[in-house]
Amino acid sequence: MPFEKKMEELDQKRKKVLEMGGPQKVEKQHAKGRLTARERIDMLLDSGSFFEVGMFNHSDVEGMEDKTPADSKVGGYGKVDGRQVVILANDFTVLAATSSRIAGRKEGELKLLAARRGHPVIYLGEAGGARMPDIMGAKGLASFGGGYFESYLQVMSRVRKTPMVTAIMGECYGMPTWMACLSDFVVQVKGSAMGVSGPRVLEMALGEKVTDEELGGWQVHARITGNIDRVAEDEEECFRIIREYLSYMPSHNGEIPPEAPVPEGSGENMQNILEYLPEKRNRAYDMHVILNCIVDKNSLFPIKPLFGESVITALARVKGKAVGIIANQPMFNAGAMDTDGIDKVISFLCLCDSFNVPLLFFHDIPGFLVGKEAEQKRVAARVMNYMNALGLITVPRISVIVRKTYGMAFWNMCGSGCGADFLVAWPSAEMSFVDPAIAANVVYGGKALSEDRDSEEWQSFFDKMVDDASPYGAAGMHHIHDIIDPGETRNYIARALEIASNNIRKGIGEHKLANWPTKF
């Protein structure tokens, strides 16, 4: 056989690389209940589709060549449900997948080429930060910039051109955290942790003792920071969630999201939709039930469901077409949006506008949550950031007033004058500056009235305020486009989206929010 020794050498080197950190390190990884980087790639990608790049990479530190197969990062191309993607996976069996110059060059090149070629990026994170002593000293620190004056920026910043997904699958410190904060969608597996520095470094540097879970477990990031979008019970569920998320996204910002077949039974509860809306105007209900009536069956895909819970952000489909939903949730704070909810909505606006996903707004909001704590969290600045982001949206917007919509929140929910292609109300809608009960007290409180709210006099003032809040006044002046039968909402939205998307750009937005920070 020609070049027999050369081919044997190639075969041996490949086997060595595929062994990763060796049998003992692989066994240790499995003992934690975790897959290796290569096993994760095989589980997520379509069978046989992985096309590796940089298999024979290794550390550039003398003497470390044989100890760093693939330089601790496995990367390349593959397919998810037939779609071309770029994939990067941290190999924790090799020096805890610490970041290095060569691996950084590989990751940076794949990320850059994905944007140029129009391929989504999937980053599977489990790593221990920057590798030492590689990064120490002047030469070590400066060389991590990639060797060119803009190379580090290309890796550590991003203008959204293709979707980027990160999975937090183990201890993730340093690079996986940075990638998560650049990503459009982040899934965290229970039992994993994410942070800038790990507990060991914190204890040595600051004397602070903390566990991985306390520092950056899923409860921290799902409920407090909002830095993740979904939680997975295990790695298998994590990959299922990633596949489902990508099914709503185009491969790049130059195309519209893929359509899907309409499941049987979709819309079958539309005629009963008012049964789920309480007639008592101040009674809470679960907005998810209303939304599930309107969207295609089983298509509601929540984003950040445990963060800023008084507002729902979700991807879904209406008659096969992908949409983004922003809906108030009366089950929490009566639907009043707090600063976490505002940040959550802005992030979602950026996602949908960057990838041509039309937006649906469902109002049932008494206003923004205000008070001393809210002011200290800069609620006013956040409200106006929200308004500024709304003003840059270029995808179709349909706004439906289900029940209450008061004050500034009316406009932030894409009310009149805020760019809605179609703005409609249900007959149950109330539109006013404040709740009619508050208005009755403010307007008439200084007059000689009984303080007893049960009095006929006060009730008459209240009833007048409720009547004035009826949507017919706004419809009469053409401040809203229509008042619709709630049972027709699904059909109305489908028709309105068809009209709004049939524009000169064929549903492709201008992506004015593509460089807005992904994480608040």
SS3 content of the chain, % helix, strand, coil (to 5): 40, 20, 40
**pLDDT tens digits, one per residue of 34-44:** 999 999 999 99
**pLDDT tens digits, one per residue of 484-519:** 999 999 999 999 999 999 888 888 999 999 999 888
For residue 128, what pLDDT is reported?
Answer: 87
Phi-psi region of 385 (alpha: psi -120 to 50; beta: other; left: phi over 0): alpha
For residue 448, what pLDDT is reported?
Answer: 42
Residue 4 has pLDDT above 50, yes or no: yes
Q: Do domains 14-248 and 270-429+470-501 have the same CATH topology?
A: yes
Residue 276 has pLDDT above 70, yes or no: yes
Residue 327 has pLDDT above 60, yes or no: yes
**pLDDT tens digits, one per residue of 408-440:** 999 999 999 999 999 999 999 999 877 766 655
Instruction: Give φ, ψ of 222 to 5 degrees.
Output: -80, -35
| CATH of region 14-248 | 3.90.226.10
In the numeric block, the tokens 């006929």 are attached to 456
**pLDDT tens digits, one per residue of 449-482:** 455 566 666 677 677 767 778 899 999 999 999 9
The mean of the pLDDT values for the chain is 92
**pLDDT tens digits, one per residue of 225-251:** 999 999 999 999 999 999 999 999 999
CATH 3.20.20.70 fits 270-429+470-501, yes or no: no
- The structure tokens listed for 301 are 């895909």
What is the DSSP secondary structure assignment for residue 223, as one 8-state letter?
I
Answer whether 410's CB lies under 8 Å from 370's CB. Answer: no
What residue spans define the domains of the chain? 14-248, 270-429+470-501, 434-469
- What b/e sequence results for 324-336 when a residue is b if at least 16 CB atoms lie within 10 Å of its CB, and e otherwise? bbbbbbbebbbbb
Answer whether 47's CB lies under 8 Å from 41's CB. Answer: no
Distance CA 110, CA 402 (A): 46
For residue 457, what pLDDT is reported?
Answer: 63
Residue 135 has pLDDT above 90, yes or no: no
What is the DSSP secondary structure assignment for residue 516, as one 8-state letter?
S
**pLDDT tens digits, one per residue of 182-209:** 999 999 999 999 999 877 777 677 777 8
Instruction: Give φ, ψ of 240 to 5 degrees.
Output: -65, -40
**pLDDT tens digits, one per residue of 7-58:** 999 999 999 999 999 999 999 999 999 999 999 999 999 999 999 999 999 9
Closest CA to 290 of 401, 199, 187, 200: 401
SS3 per residue for 228-279: CCEEECCHHHHHHHHHHHHHHCCCCCCCCCCCCCCCCCCCCCHHHHHHHCCC
Answer whether 175's CB lies under 8 Å from 208's CB. Answer: no
